[in-house]
Chains A and B, each alone.
Chain A
């Protein structure tokens, strides 16, 4: 029994300590407009259940998409729209440090996935992309193609140039790179070679959708280096959705 009590006390101390510690790290903002509306949920349809008046302070706990979970001076917790919170100020009078969305034309990281057709096979593709400059990116692609005779796993690394990065909704891209494919047979006979090196050149386009969301379209021609007499040229196209940071 004393052990249990000690355990409970220990857990409570941990929780309380954590809470106290965490409270120190939250952002405190002052409402400068006539009022700040608190919604019951992080969505446009959730009703307003509480209003924080001008001059009162508000504690920002965390964010989810475009919404911020806040605590009112009297302890009520609810969700505030991003634009409303951005209109508040720090105690010092500076504007609230609500981070802006990354600029699409100058973002650094992209991670995405999509559907495509590789050598007339269904393709599931995923990629990670890092922008060296606004127009030149390094992209790593991992994808799986499902055919009637064989399945293939393809990994590539390459460079991609966005021709006009300032064009937001539609901007063409060109790319080159190299990679590797491994082939596993589905139906006998087994493929002549189970793995090959390959190189590609491609054309594509990208565009902004909303917030951190974007689309990609790519067409690629692959040259497969094999030991056979004839070099193999494969074609691929794919469409994907991605998130950028």
Chain B
């Protein structure tokens, strides 16, 4: 009984306390701030500051595209190759380029002569590579088509290195190439490239440097 009574008192106290606190929240009534007695201006400037947003100039230094052609794999015949390329033009002369491509080797002359012998397994005939290159536009110029048309073009050399995966082995490969970039429009280019991928191979018993020359035709877009 006593407990109930005290709890009722306590509840009442709490409630009144809450009420008190709430009352306290209201705070004193604000005194209106005195208006500054400014001189009435004759001209009321209604000019809002004009925000001029200058458009950004888009940089189109990247070149992205695809290519296909023929790859001569030393001892394994000439085969179609197709790949992707991406370049970044650092200056009007220098560019950095990456390649990713794939081809499939045919039969070596040994395998053709002796059909029972297999130098490379079937899965090992896949020839894939990636390359990281530096390129230099050696001979920029124009190519004329008839009287009224001129296309910008650049003859370039590239030097680089990468990975050639052939015969189920990843090999360090150097590559060097010569190419011609012909700009059909200012954002679309046709490429003609000849590149040699050199790596060490011991597939036929002796370790030697093998040269794998490719001739490709490509199409790239500047963006």
Contacts and interface: CB of A to CB of B under 8 A. Distances in A.
For chain A, which range describes its interface: under 10, 10 to 19, 20 to 34, or 35 or more residues? 35 or more
Contacts of B96: 113, 241, 243
Interface stretch (A90-98, A128-136, A167-175, A196-204): A90-98
Contacts of B91: 65-66, 210-211, 213
A43 B140 contact: yes
Most buried by A among B132, B162, B163, B171: B132
A222 B72 CA distance: 39
A124 B171 contact: no
B67 to A, nearest CB: 20
B142 A40 contact: yes
A124 B172 contact: yes
A136 to B, nearest CB: 25
A124 B61 contact: no
Give the interface size class of chain B: 35 or more
Nearest to B200: A148
A120 interface: no
Contacts, number: 94
Interface string A50-66: 00000000001111111
Interface in B36-91: 52, 54-61, 88-91
A26 B58 CA distance: 9
B170 interface: yes
Nearest to A26: B55
A50 B137 CA distance: 25
Interface string B150-194: 101010000001110000011110000000000100100000000
A171 to B, nearest CB: 20
Interface string A188-228: 00000000000000000000001111000000000000000
A25 B57 CA distance: 9
A113 B162 CA distance: 11
Contacts of A69: 186
Main secondary structure of the interface of A (DSSP, over half): strand
B222 A122 contact: no
A33 interface: no
Interface string B186-217: 10000000000000000000000000000000
Contacts of A46: 140, 142, 152
Given A64-B60, A69-B186, A124-B162, A27 B55 contact: yes
A29 to B, nearest CB: 10
Most buried by B among A40, A41, A63, A92: A41
Contacts of A144: 163, 170
Contact of A243 (B60, B88, B140, B171): B88
B141 interface: yes
Contacts of B142: 40-41, 46
B90 A212 contact: yes
A121 B150 CA distance: 48
B169 A186 contact: yes
Interface string B89-102: 11110101000000
B60 A211 contact: no
Interface in A91-136: 92, 97-99, 113, 115, 121-122, 124, 126
A88 to B, nearest CB: 12
Interface in A57-95: 60-69, 77, 90, 92
Given A27-B54, A45-B140, A45-B141, A64 B61 contact: yes
Contact of A63 (B60, B90, B94, B161): B60
12 contacts: A26-B55, A27-B55, A43-B137, A46-B152, A64-B59, A66-B91, A67-B92, A68-B57, A90-B52, A90-B54, A151-B170, A241-B134
Q: What are the 4 closest A-B residue pairs judged by CB atoms, nearest first?
A: A146-B172, A122-B172, A41-B152, A62-B58
Interface of A: 25-27, 40-46, 60-69, 77, 90, 92, 97-99, 113, 115, 121-122, 124, 126, 144, 146, 151, 184, 186, 210-213, 241, 243
Given A43-B137, A61-B58, A64-B59, 17 more contacts: A25-B55, A27-B57, A40-B142, A43-B92, A44-B92, A62-B57, A65-B90, A90-B54, A97-B54, A113-B96, A122-B172, A124-B132, A124-B162, A144-B163, A146-B171, A241-B134, A243-B96
